[in-house]
Amino acid sequence: MFVCLNWGMRSVLKRLIRQTGYTISANPTFGAFLQSRAVTLVLDVGANTGQFASYLRTEGYVGEIISFEPIKSAYNLLMGRMMHDSRWSGRNIGLGEAKGTATINVSENSVFSSIVSQLDFATEFDKKRENSPD
């Protein structure tokens, strides 16, 4: 459904919605969302090399970030990103719902690494991505 409102009606509608504690924005960012909720700490679980935390910084998030990444090679790259940001720290461990140890299936493309066994489809998908001319 598409609704077109004239400018006067838009401002009335926005004001009514704002009174309920919500905001309508033409181009909301995730950083603005976190700021609107007064978020001061983000736990980045399965951080890989820090893509999400870096994205948060580009979006204007200035709060604390703690990244968790169990794969040593990915964590080493993550440390390089964290070292210039005093509000971003990390731990070379994995987090889960229970205390224990697990074997990680490390993919050549580390974003696909998981404690869950990789399906044949995912293996083929990963190969196709490696061979694509991006």
**67 contacts 78 by C-beta, under 8 angstroms:** yes
Task: Give the pLDDT of residue 3.
Answer: 46
- State pLDDT tens for residues 5-64: 445 566 677 777 778 877 666 666 787 888 888 999 999 998 999 999 999 998 888 999
CA distances to 42, 52, 86, 112, 114 from 58, in Å = 15, 10, 16, 24, 27
Same domain, 77 and 123: no
- The reply to whether the predicted model has a pTM over 0.75 is no
Same domain, 107 and 131: yes
Task: Give the pLDDT of residue 129.
Answer: 46
pLDDT reading at 126 higher than 60? no
Same domain, 48 and 80: yes
The stretch 106-132 carries a mean pLDDT of 62
Task: Give the pLDDT of residue 39.
Answer: 92
What CATH number corresponds to the domain at position 47? 3.40.50.150
Task: Give the pLDDT of residue 100.
Answer: 85
Tokens (6 digits) for 31: 């950083």
Task: Give the pLDDT of residue 69.
Answer: 92
Task: Give the pLDDT of residue 64.
Answer: 95
Same domain, 119 and 91: no
Same domain, 91 and 109: no
115, part of any domain: yes
22, part of any domain: no
Same domain, 46 and 88: yes
Same domain, 128 and 86: no
19, part of any domain: no
Same domain, 113 and 92: no
63, part of any domain: yes
Same domain, 68 and 48: yes
Same domain, 85 and 60: yes
Count: domains in the chain: 2
- State pLDDT tens for residues 76-114: 999 999 999 999 999 999 888 888 887 776 766 666 666
pLDDT reading at 133 higher than 60? no
Which residues form the domain of 126?
103-134
Cα separation, 58 vs 62, whole angstroms: 10
